[in-house]
Structures are given as C-alpha cells and as structure tokens.
Structure 1
C-alpha cells in the first residue's frame, strides 16, 4: 500500500501510514490512500470525514496468470509422464486463465496510469517520472478526446502514452508489439468464442503464430489444432512472458519511477514467481 504524499495534492490532506497489506487511517481529516489488490484499510479515531481509495488490480491479474501458467505446466508434465492422450479439463482451464489474465494485466496497467494522470493533476506515486505536459496530454485523451477511452484498443493506449511523453513508440512490425498483438487476438477469440470461427484462415494463422512462438501442447493429442494443440503449458507461459516483457520495456521508455515488479515481488503469499 502506498499512501499519497501530502505535498502532491493541493486539495487533499493525507494522514495514512502502513506497509503493503493494509493501512490504518486516524483522525477526522479527508484522506486518500493507494491500495494494491490485496490491501485493506481501516479507520480509527472516529474515521475520516472523507475517505478515498484508489485500488490497483493490474498486477494481481499478472500474478493470477503466472499462477495458472505454473499449474498448467505441472499438470502437463504429469499428463506427459502418464502417457495419456486424453484431454484434461483442468489443464485446459489453466491455459485459458493464463491467456485471459495476462491480457487483463496489459489493459489494466495502462488504464491505471491514464486514470491517475486524468484524475490527479498533481500526480500520484504511479505517475512519477512523467512530465506535467505528458500528464496533461494523457488527461485530455482520457477525458476529453474525440474517441471515448473505452473505444481505444489496448495497443493504441500504450502507444499514445509514449507519444504524450515524447518517447519512441513501438514498431508495429516487430517484437514485442507483434507478440502482444498475437496474444490479444488469441484472448479475444477465447472471450468471443463461437464454434465455427476456428476454421477461418485468419484464425488458423493466429493459432500457428502462437504455436511458433510458444510451442504446442506436449501431450500426444490429435486434431483439431485449436484448442487441442494451441492451449497448453507453452502457450500459458508465453502469455505471461509476453505481457510482462512488454510492460517492462514500456515503463522503461516512459521513464516511470514505479516498476510493477516491485509489487509482484512483495506479493503476500507463499507462491512466488520469477519476475
């Protein structure tokens, strides 16, 4: 949990303190606290007359994706040792969860930064490293742009943030953007699934592209290509790695002081992952 610095907001007094895992707010002042996905806040001394919490969930989505990928890998190893060709529902579910959660992380992380820039003119701990001009341009795009923010694609949000900051955008024809585009296409297909579309030429190209990047299900299962060979431990791990590497490079290009990996490393659970 990161309480907001009092000198960063002219209109809000902050009287909050605590470590990751929660905060205790005392007194009757108006307060605002920043909470991660697992944080909780409690109010002592009669509470505060105005309490505002900004909750950041993007990194929780990445943790969820990594957990599913790990479980998928362990299950696939066991199935290969067994030598069974049967399809395992839990194995497939973990692969799907990893893909969907990885894209949730991608969209949530960029949305959180734009939202902070739009809502907090004086900045937040998440926007440190961005110039005032960059924050103002991001605010205008998020709140007053000609295109509603919920109609802007995930990839375009990342590119627009770089342009607002005067930084070099990603080359659409190269990695890591090509990998992210393939991941998002696969996630969109899973979310908007219909039983006929796997046979289209465009989607077959997506599936083959994913397997070329990620590898295929190591079980000795037969066709169809999707979902039997596409959805496996390789795909699940690739989804996590693709999302994580892309955001690392993006936040480095922006010059952000906040690094999402510090949150992932501090996750208050026994299950840990390489970040």
Structure 2
C-alpha cells in the first residue's frame, strides 16, 4: 500500500498548491483547500509508515523462507537478518514509532542514527505531529495574543504561508501554516 499512499500524497499536495495558486480575492478558509493539505499530510505519513513496515516484513518473510518472498533489494544479507530479528522481537513493529524503525535500519546497515534536532529527523517528527494533530484534534479557541504554539518551531521551515489566509490577523497555526509551505517540509 505504500505506493498508493505516496501517489495520494503527491496528488493532494498538487491539488492544494494549484488551488492556492489560483486563489484571488479576500482571504478565506476554504474547506476544499484545507482538506487537500490535511489529506496530503496524512497520506505522506501513511506512506512513511507503510513503506518501513513493508521493508521489515519483506526482510522477515525472506528470512523465514515464505514462498515468493524476496529480501529488500540492495541490502546486505546480514542487514536483512537483523531486520527480521528486530521485527520478530517487536511483534512486527507494533509499538515502535516510525522514526525508530528508520533508525533501526540505519544502525543495522552500519550508519549513524538520525539526530533528533536535525533534518530529516526533525521534519519527520513535525509531519507526524501535524498528522496526529489533524486526526486527534481537540478544538481549542486561541486569541490573537495567545497563538497555538504546537508547530511554532516549524515556522521558519514552513514557507510560504497559506496565501488564502495571508492578509488576516488569524494566528499562524493552523490557518496560515496549513498551505503549500507545509507540503514542502
């Protein structure tokens, strides 16, 4: 399913960017535009999660001798063996965060772990956090003098602001953050 999630992420990102570029007139919260952005974010995370899970499952199936299974292409057999053992020990990655799964593969391949405060680790956590915010959102009213700061640290990386809301006094997140800039993070 990872390829379908990737296609959907690209598709909805393109729709959001095209919709925003075609906007003229007064700033508005467009349900269609925000839906495109939120769906692109959710599908991006779904791709990341599905891809790494598929990679581990392929390693496990190949190691277990499942008929027709192939080890992930280009990986050393020892890396594949370590991936399969890890997958078995974590109940198929059931309670392991996505970033930790990617880090495990890096370690098995003799590469350093990603650094939490650096790219791309930082952006991966941000996009997962944004997806989690949109899926598990609890409505809260924020005044203009007390903005929602959950993604404020990402503000310098999320550019440009959502053009549909650029001329408003609305808080940056979520109104100005949820535009084409968030899709480039």
Range class of TM-score, shorter chain: 0.7 to 0.9
Aligned to 2:38: 96
Kindly indicate whether residue 9 of structure 2 is the aligned counterpart of residue 65 of structure 1: yes
Kindly indicate whether residue 159 of structure 2 is the aligned counterpart of residue 217 of structure 1: no
Aligned to 2:82: 137
Higher relative contact order (CA 8 A, sep 6+): 2
Kindly indicate whether residue 48 of structure 2 is the aligned counterpart of residue 113 of structure 1: no
1: CA distance between counterparts of 2:69 and 2:125? 30
Distance change >3 Å, CA 144–CA 197, structure 1 → 2: farther
Whether the aligned pair in 2 keeps the contact of 1:72 and 1:232 (CA below 8 Å) is: yes
Whether the aligned pair in 2 keeps the contact of 1:182 and 1:206 (CA below 8 Å) is: no
CA distances 1:139-187 after superposition (whole Å, capped 9, x unpaired): 1111124x76110000000001111222232222211111111111111
How do 1:67-216 residues align onto structure 2 when only pairs under 5 Å count? 67-79=11-23, 82-121=24-63, 125=70, 127-145=72-90, 149-196=93-140, 204-215=148-159, 216=161
Give the SS at the match of 2:163.
coil
Q: CA deviation at 1:125?
A: 5.0
Q: CA deviation at 1:225?
A: 2.9
Give the SS at the match of 1:149.
coil
Whether the aligned pair in 1 keeps the contact of 2:58 and 2:72 (CA below 8 Å) is: yes
Give the SS at the match of 2:118.
coil
Bigger fraction of residues in strand: 1
Give the SS at the match of 2:88.
helix
2: CA distance between counterparts of 1:226 and 1:168? 34
Unaligned segments of structure 2, at least 5 residues = none
Structure ID, larger Rg:
1
Count of aligned pairs between the two proteins: 176
2: CA distance between counterparts of 1:74 and 1:217? 12
1: CA distance between counterparts of 2:71 and 2:154? 32
Q: Following superposition, which runs of at least 4 residues in structure 1 exceed 4 angstroms of deviation?
A: 122-126
1: CA distance between counterparts of 2:107 and 2:55? 14
CA distances 1:214-244 after superposition (whole Å, capped 9, x unpaired): 22111233313332111112212x15xxxxx
Give the SS at the match of 1:137.
helix
Unaligned segments of structure 1, at least 5 residues = 1-56, 240-275
Superposition TM-score, scaled by structure 1 size: 0.58
Q: CA RMSD in A?
A: 2.4
2: CA distance between counterparts of 1:182 and 1:214? 11
